[in-house]
Chains A and B, each alone.
Chain A
Amino acid sequence: MSEFLQHLINMLVLGGTYALLGIGLTLIFGIMNVVNFTHGVLYTFGAYIMFIVVQQLGLNFFLALPVAVLAGWLLGAAIELTLLRPLRGSDIDTTMLVMIGAWIAMQSGTLWIWGGVAKSVATPFPEAPLVLGPVSVSWLRLFVLAAAAMLILVTYLLINKTSLGRAMRATFQDHDTASLMGVNVDMIYTSTFAIGSSLAAAAGALLGPVYVIFPQMGDLAAVKAFAIVILGGLGNITGAVIGGFILALAEELGAGYVSSGYRDAMGFLIIIAVLIFRPTGLFARAERVG
């Protein structure tokens, strides 16, 4: 029983960060329809920003988080302006290839700048975990869960309650009509990509100190983000959040009670199952086709 409770606590903490990764990608992949292979690199980038600000500049841990979010936003905007804007209107394969190129180039860039040796970031949290009866959880992970929940809430409000969010939804529903209604469509594309990227960087900045930071850390994170987005339904923020927790639960219980060798296969198994039984995702609304 205590083992099961510990798995549930682990699931909550892990699920929060998966949700954060998922909503960032669902904005870009689900709403903008860009297969964003740079999502994992932006996650890595956010973690390295943490490392620079905290370890190299010696600044405050809590200050480093908004810096990472901002840096992710700027890098995302730069990718959109230089790579995606010139390709707007070209087919999905071309964009995909360009994004794969950007992914490899950026990942090699991080390896070139910081080397392959993993970095770690010191945190202001005590090393002794919080012990609640039979289960224990580190303070850092609780903080990560709280920060992730806050970021998810802010994103939800941004998309659903602000005029920018309304313009975003309108643009991706019908690009031409939105444009006729006076929405600056170019600006919407750039900001959507930048917001999605900043969420990836935020996830990296939060998880970098929990794990260790190295150039390939984003690869597995990106695979999981895609699994979450497909699970929750393209473009569905609530779906991505729930999808994040479902994936975390599947991994925890799969490793705990089935076989730990298949832990990271759970994401793929979920994708396959969803594509077979509910190809539009678990939480997609009924859609009219044509």
Chain B
Amino acid sequence: MTRTLGLVPAIALATALFGGTAGAQTIKIGVNEPLTGAFAASGTYVVNGAKIAADEINAKGGVLGKKIELVIEDNKSNPTEAAAVAEKLITSDKVPVLMGAWGSSLTLAVMPKLMEYETPMVVETSSSGKITTTGNPFIFRISPPSAVEAAAFKNIVDKLALKKVDFLVINNDWGRGTAEDFSKMMKDKGISIGLVETMDQGAQDMSAQLSKIKSSDSETVIVTTAVDQLTLIFKQAAALGLKKRIITTGGSQNPDQIIAQAGAAANGTMHLTTFLPWFPDKTPNPEATNYFIAEWKKRGFEFAGCTESFRGYDGIRTVAAAIEKAGKAEPAAIKAALWNINIKGLNGDIVFRKSGPEGKESGQSQPNVYLIEINDGKVEMKTL
């Protein structure tokens, strides 16, 4: 019996040793995304985009003469899991840098772990303002916080002649943060704010909230949530005969999926988005955009996923550029190098500026924001 028991640690040790040698030939990048749970679809898109970047970089010889290796973990759309997964990636897989964690609540849950283990993370999707304003110097965000979205939207509210708006937002840091930032901007513009309704992240029936909004005296509803709930909201709003203008924010709308699933109910809706895969020539980096879209299609993924997956692609290229600049795959060096990179992302130059309390600033890049409208089942661009 003693002998059998002794064998197990021996095997574990051997595996660890062999695993260790194999690992030294690659540079690991931790990827912390929701692959199951409410945000499974979006997280999977981001991971697939990340893989395209990794393959492209490796085909060109890798980074510092080594191939990069994505260590992908599923945070199950659950903040507790997101923190656990980050810890596992850092302590057990020994990744020097992370990318993640899609949702704002997920990213916020990971942030204390980054402080604890002094490991930087590139945030590719989350848009809650809190992420870059609470003083976590290990955060480098390439997606726009909702205040940046609100600021970009500011220029168009006059053209849309908004008078009074209601909000229907997902009940988490992302949704509530957006309602706050957009309300602030709109109040400055003299637009009055009506109802602020919330919905649970897994909720499927929003008829009650929409009925309430239907009887309010506003003419526009700002909706913030992921694509699946948006589809439901458009269908249910149509069924209730809600005739208000709907504008969505957050960049996780996948307009093509909405068109496919909500059909006519999606017509007339407007969306603030951060990537224009429909009009590659109008993006800041047409060549890279065309390459990415071609590669995405070649791998047999749905075109609808491009508006999410480009974040994974840009995120990994950001991380790789930082490792190259650092000259070594160590957390502190990568963190320092992230401040000095300047790469062409699919949605504008990725350059980190300081954000948050002095002395422990987070990095925030300033991506572009566009407004699109769905008309007759097609995506049209609105100029901001």
B212 near A108 (CB under 8 angstroms)?
no
B35 x A10 contact (CB < 8 A): no
A65 to B40, CA, bound (A): 27
Query: Are B264 and A127 neighbours in the complex by a CB distance under 8 Å?
Result: yes
- Which single residue of chain B is at the shortest CB-CB distance from A261? B198
Q: Are B208 and A10 in contact (CB under 8 A)?
A: yes
Tell me whether A116 is interfacial, beta carbon within 8 Å. Answer: yes
A10 to B240, CA, bound (A): 9
Q: Pick the contact of A116 from B40, B207, B209 — CB < 8 Å?
A: B40
Choose from A211, A214, A215 the contact partner of B205 (Cβ within 8 Å): A211
* A49-64 interface with B by 8 A CB criterion: none
User: Are the CB atoms of B261 and A120 closer together than 8 Å?
Assistant: yes
- Is the Cβ of B239 less than 8 Å from the Cβ of A3? no
B152 at the interface (CB under 8 A from A): no
What residues of chain A lie closer than 8 Å to B203, measured between beta carbons?
220, 263-264
The answer to whether B205 and A136 have CB atoms under 8 Å apart is no
A207 cross-chain contacts in B, Cβ below 8 A:
204
Other-chain contact of B214, A6, A14, A117, A220 (Cβ < 8 Å): A6
Q: Which of A140, A220, A259 has the most CB of B within 10 A?
A: A220
Chain B residue nearest to A7 in the complex (CB) = B211
A181 at the interface (CB under 8 A from B): no
Residues of A contacting B305 in the complex (Cβ-Cβ under 8 angstroms): 117
Residues of the A chain whose Cβ atoms lie less than 8 Å from the Cβ of B240: 6, 129, 136-137
What is the distance, in angstroms, from A124's C-beta to the closest C-beta of chain B?
A: 14
Verify A118–B261 contact, CB threshold 8 A: yes
B215: which A residues are within 8 A, CB to CB? 2-3, 6
Instruction: Tell me, rounded to whole Å, the shortest Cβ–Cβ distance linking B213 to chain A.
Output: 10
Residue pair B202, A219 in contact (C-beta under 8 Å): yes
| A117 touching B238 in the complex, CB below 8 Å, given contacts A111-B40, A211-B205 | no
Task: Give Cα distance in the complex from A219 to B205, angstroms.
Answer: 14
In Å, the complex CA distance between A38 and B246 comes to 37
B257 touches A117 (CB 8 A): yes
Q: Is the CB of A261 within 8 A of B207?
A: no
A251–B204 Cα gap in the complex (Å)? Answer: 12
Contact of A260 among B36, B41, B43, B209 (CB under 8 A): B209
In whole Å, how far is B322's beta carbon from the nearest beta carbon of chain A?
30
**Residues on B with beta carbons closer than 8 Å to the beta carbon of A117:** 41, 44, 257, 302, 305
A14–B204 alpha-carbon span in the complex (Å) = 11
Main secondary structure of the interface of B (DSSP, over half): helix
In Å, the complex CA distance between A212 and B263 comes to 13
The total of Cβ contacts below 8 Å across the A-B interface reads: 116
Contacts of B239 in A (CB 8 A): 129, 136-138, 140-141
Chain B residues near A217: list those with CB within 8 A: 204
* B87 interface contact, C-beta 8 A: no
In the complex, chain B residues whose CB is within 8 Å of the CB of A261: 171, 198, 200
Interface string of B207-225 (1 = CB under 8 A from A): 1110110110000000000
A220–B202 touching, CB < 8 Å: yes
Flag if B200 contacts A264 (CB, 8 Å).
yes
B32-57: which have CB < 8 Å to A?
35-38, 40-41, 43-44
B-contact 0/1 string along A121-137, CB 8 Å cutoff: 00000010101000011
Is B369 positioned at the interface, with any CB of A under 8 Å from its CB? Answer: no
Q: Kindly state whether residue B228 has any CB partner on chain A within 8 Å.
A: yes
**B231 and A118 form a contact (CB under 8 A):** yes
- Asked whether A115 and B44 contact (CB < 8 A) given A3-B215, A120-B261, A255-B212, the answer is yes
- Residues of chain A within 8 A of B118, CB atoms compared: none
A116 with B35: CB separation less than 8 A:
yes
User: How many Å from the CB of B212 to the closest CB on chain A?
Assistant: 5
A/B interface sample: 27 pairs, CB < 8 A: A3-B212, A6-B211, A6-B214, A10-B208, A14-B207, A108-B36, A115-B40, A115-B44, A116-B40, A116-B43, A116-B44, A120-B260, A127-B263, A129-B238, A129-B239, A141-B239, A211-B205, A214-B40, A215-B40, A216-B38, A219-B202, A220-B202, A252-B211, A255-B208, A260-B208, A261-B171, A263-B200
- New A-B contacts (15) at CB < 8 Å, excluding given A115-B40, A116-B40, A256-B211: A117-B302, A129-B241, A137-B239, A140-B239, A211-B204, A212-B228, A219-B202, A220-B202, A251-B208, A252-B207, A259-B198, A260-B198, A260-B209, A263-B203, A263-B208
Q: Which 4 interchain pairs have the tightest Cβ spacing?
A: A116-B40, A138-B239, A255-B208, A3-B215
